[in-house]
Amino acid sequence: MLWTRGVCETQGEEMAGLLEGHAKARKAAWAAAGCGLLAAAGLAVPSQRWKLDGNPAPSASQVHAARAQVGQRAAALGREKEKLAAASARLTSLETRAEVLTEQYDKTIVQEQQAAATYRRALTRLAAARHAEQVSRRQVASLAASEYETSGGFGTMTAMLGDANGPQAYLNQVSLGKLFADQRTDVLARHQADRVIATVFRDQARSSLTARQAAVRRAARLKAAVQAAVARQLAAVRETRALTARLASALASARTHAQSLAAERQAALAAEAAAQARSAAAGTAASAGPSSGQAPPAPVSGGTAGDIAANWALSQLGKPYQWGGAGPDTYDCSGLTMEAWARAGVRLLHYTGYQWEEGQHVPLGQLQRGDLLFYATDNSDPATIHHVGIYIGNGEMVDAPYTGADVRIDSIYQPGYPIGAVRP
């Protein structure tokens, strides 16, 4: 059965009210109670197509199948959200790397510009050194020609004897000439050294510029590759986001369909119970003698406590995980199981470690719907229990997995092998 013990009690109270008046009052009271019941269950008032077109009310298996579809779509949406989270994280990482590489690229460009400026200065310095050397050579050549023209055509003795000031003047002239010659040699040597140094500097600057230019090309290629990776990842994120939106829409449709079926079945069962109550009341009022032997109406039941807890947990599929959440819109793992068993009239504490001790431990081979499954980091140590889910049959459970995921259906082995199970 797919309704809770609280719903059954509400139905019982409403049926008692229906028996307290004439038929018209009972009909109005039942209509109001039916709307209140559906509102309390969080469902829209059903269309009651089963009344309008003569079709039977939805069966329990149909409702269960619709809710199973909700679970499957919720699980698919959960998986896609995990992919979206991973893809978004990778995109963020790539974007960060792209920013770093862009800054490195900018730095490399600046260094290349500095190297180019240094190379240009080296060329200017080399040109100046070569020009100075050429000027020095012309000056040396001019002095040499002048010396040749003044005394190069006479012998040494002739120059000495022909000097009006005598031999001493000649010796003075020789010393001064030697000094000039030495100075010319020093000037020429200095400019030659400047040219050599400028040439070395030019070569070093050219080598540095070539290296910087190669670094710029490498940085540009790397930046382009990362930017392309960012673009591809962004496209993947957008595609995954679009698929997530489609899955969310499909889940909403499935949830609406399941709620509608459940509401129709709820209303049909309530109407049937009301009819049985009216029939029983009429039989009691008409009976003045021995009992007619008519069997009392079958009670409206929500199944076992485990069924009530499991079915309620299924009704919470798709609601987001929140640390410390205990409904009605968000849950953590122990908050979901606590609220599920509260619907069956069993009080649990909001902590997996306490819930592990709040019931009978059962072997995994004897699981029943509603049993709690526990998971630990070390299956030999219950003190390491960190997660709990509620068994719904067929090796599956409903659980609130972790931050970023929604309440969903998982395999009981999805989080790992259970440390054990408890029946509250």
Q: What is the pLDDT of residue 316?
A: 94
**Which of 18-27, 226-235, 276-285 has maximum average pLDDT?**
226-235
Question: Which residues in the chain are classed under CATH 1.10.287?
Answer: 83-242
- On the question of pLDDT at 338 being above 90, the answer is yes
pLDDT band at residue 181 under the 50/70/90 scheme? low
Residue of higher predicted confidence among 143 and 329: 329
Q: Poorest-confidence range of 30-34, 75-79, 280-284?
A: 30-34
**Which of 131-135, 144-148, 149-153 has maximum average pLDDT?**
131-135
| 317 and 409 Cβ atoms separated by less than 8 Å | yes
Q: Does pTM surpass 0.75?
A: no
Cα–Cα distances in angstroms (integers) from residue 162 to residues 73, 131, 157, in the given order: 125, 41, 8
Cα–Cα distances in angstroms (integers) from residue 382 to residues 200, 248, 386, in the given order: 77, 37, 9
Mean pLDDT (whole number) for 57-80: 85
| 337 and 388 Cβ atoms separated by less than 8 Å | yes
Q: What backbone torsions phi and psi does residue 114 show, to the nearest 5 degrees? A: -65, -40
- On the question of pLDDT at 418 being above 60, the answer is yes
- On the question of pLDDT at 129 being above 90, the answer is no
| 101 and 223 Cβ atoms separated by less than 8 Å | yes
- Integer Cα distance of 101 and 103 in angstroms: 5
- On the question of pLDDT at 345 being above 80, the answer is yes
pLDDT band at residue 307 under the 50/70/90 scheme? very high
Mean pLDDT (whole number) for 323-334: 89
Q: Which two tokens stand for residue 404?
A: 């970023």
Q: What is the pLDDT of residue 99?
A: 67
Length reported for the chain: 424
Q: Which two tokens stand for residue 251?
A: 């889940």
Q: What is the largest CA-CA distance in the chain?
A: 183
Q: What is the pLDDT of residue 180?
A: 57
Residue of higher predicted confidence among 209 and 163: 209
Q: Residue 238: what residue type?
A: R
| 388 and 382 Cβ atoms separated by less than 8 Å | no
Q: Residue 79: what residue type?
A: R
CA atoms within 13 A on the CB side of 142: 6
For the 83-242 domain, the top CATH level (class) is mainly alpha
pLDDT band at residue 370 under the 50/70/90 scheme? very high
- Integer Cα distance of 94 and 100 in angstroms: 10
Q: What is the pLDDT of residue 423?
A: 96
- On the question of pLDDT at 40 being above 60, the answer is no
Q: Does domain 303-424 have CATH number 3.30.420.250?
A: no
Q: What is the pLDDT of residue 297?
A: 33
Mean pLDDT (whole number) for 45-62: 60
H or E element, residue 304: none
H or E element, residue 399: strand 396-399
Q: Poorest-confidence range of 7-11, 59-63, 99-103, 416-420?
A: 7-11
With a pLDDT cut of 90, the percent of the chain lying above it is: 25
- Return mean pLDDT, the chain: 74
Q: What backbone torsions phi and psi does residue 216 show, to the nearest 5 degrees? A: -65, -45
Q: What is the pLDDT of residue 31?
A: 40
